[in-house]
Structure 1
């Protein structure tokens, strides 16, 4: 792990694939050793009473209403100035309310920095009907229903994301979206990218969507900007086979930041465990250090805002 540089703060995104299982495998030890300032967690996969406490942190949590599914949380060292979930603050974008009970989004305004942090767990989705081949799929063909559902989510969330980013800007805050987007954008983000072109998470329409929500004057893919135009860093490996040992995986976990914050990013690390039997999850924590922001309320983001699509 990198040594923290003075005047900076670290932010981690981690799909724990079940917080209770991750804790049995050593999550709390990782948290104490890494000691990030902010942590976005996805796939808690338990009821609110089973999440537990996190020593040294305040947790903003939405587990949703589907038992054992989804669930997101943001851990902060100081209690946030505000917390918003889709249950307490229903989304305004058309089509997103159908997902509001699923425990997929939480957002906080940090109390000690002019920064809004959001945490998202996107639906995994599925294949469109024309790519479904009975006998070659792990799941029963569904005629493209899961794919269509994910596409509806992506379209609606893009509108909601723009609203939330602009709301943070009006409040004088930078904006950072963490989470498992279940989308890889570039060929560098998937080891076997040629085969992945016909897999959910790397379909042309999903990659196009990622490109539409990111850009140098909207949200910057911080990890790609830091890592450069080369393969990796991967954040997910299948439990099956030797994918983990051979480093055959995907980058579907992300930090997407407004330009002012993205320029402050110093380094990125993936806390990949040294051996398969030490894995905390099928994902690994994605950690970025940012240079410190000014005190909350003292300065507003200064990047010009480009014209964008109408919100609805």
Structure 2
């Protein structure tokens, strides 16, 4: 058994090259992360390798359209196998779903980095978002069958509950907080009025952030670049670690690495860092 917990972090970097110019490298160097899930990479594999350095093994699934989306997994040890097949055959999910198996001691952990579409009500972007969420509903049970120690990380672009968005009343008709979107999360982890919510309800997955924080507002992981959203903590909780029940039972620590000030941020999202005592 390893002498330390497995530390897994996820962050939407909003362009990894820009994030590194603003200080992402210093954060990563001092954080002791074993597996890092990245979203909105918007760079080449060579760019990622050059920025992170030779100590990291990189898996990268770029988007079809250059300069958009892109997900990656970086680890201290090489993955056993990785997969990018996801959703209907005629659906372009490139740059949005990347899963890999990692060995931690004698334990196999399956990790997914995913970037759900942001959506836009009344447009094709929203149709694509629902297609992606439909594919997640079908794929999550397959992940559980593949490995009871599985983890879906990333910017899921939905605030599940009113606790997950500061100004929820004014956003109920906007992408990211639509009732139809939130219903998918009821299927993933259960509805809040279900006695088994986040503890076996729905498909049985666990929202690690909500279980750790409890019934409190936030804590948020994304703040608009406009106005004083960051300074007033007017945010959304869009970045998740969804774990199978068996893996969620091993959580030893959970943190959102919110920047100390607006001008010290290197992304509009904050990293979510969790320790799993396997």
TM-score normalised to structure 2 length = 0.89
Q: Distance in 1 between matches of 2:128 and 2:10?
A: 25
2:164 aligned with 1:189, yes or no? yes
Q: Distance in 2 between matches of 1:157 and 1:186?
A: 19
Paired position in structure 1 for 2:193 = none
Q: Distance in 1 between matches of 2:237 and 2:49?
A: 28
State the shift of 1:97 in Å.
Answer: 4.3
2:83 aligned with 1:84, yes or no? yes
Q: Deviations over 1:144-202 (max 9, x none)?
A: 32222211221122212222232224xxxx00000000011011100111112121111
2:212 aligned with 1:261, yes or no? no
State the shift of 1:249 in Å.
Answer: 0.6
Aligned match for 2:91, one of 90, 95, 98: 98
Structure 1 runs of 4+ with >3 Å offset? none
Paired position in structure 2 for 1:221 = 207
Does the CA-based 8 Å contact 1:176-1:258 persist in structure 2?
yes
State the shift of 1:267 in Å.
Answer: 2.2
Does the CA-based 8 Å contact 1:43-1:69 persist in structure 2?
yes
Aligned match for 1:274, one of 243, 247, 260: 260
Q: What is the aligned residue count?
A: 261
Q: Distance in 2 between matches of 1:189 and 1:96?
A: 33
2:145 aligned with 1:152, yes or no? no
User: Which residues in structure 2 correspond to 1:128-207 (within 5 Å)?
Assistant: 128=122, 144-169=123-148, 174-207=149-182
2:8 aligned with 1:11, yes or no? yes
Alpha-carbon spacing, 1:237–1:96, altered in 2? closer, same or farther (3 Å): farther
Q: Which has the higher strand share?
A: 2
Q: Distance in 1 between matches of 2:113 and 2:24?
A: 19
State the shift of 1:277 in Å.
Answer: 1.1
Alpha-carbon spacing, 1:214–1:68, altered in 2? closer, same or farther (3 Å): same
Q: Distance in 1 between matches of 2:184 and 2:118?
A: 14
TM-score normalised to structure 1 length = 0.80
Does the CA-based 8 Å contact 1:96-1:157 persist in structure 2?
no
Q: Distance in 1 between matches of 2:20 and 2:144?
A: 33
Q: Distance in 2 between matches of 1:52 and 1:79?
A: 14
Structure 2 gaps of 5+ residues are 191-198
Output the aligned Cα RMSD: 1.5
State the shift of 1:65 in Å.
Answer: 2.3
Which moves more between the two structures, 8-17 or 54-63?
54-63
SS at match of 2:8: strand
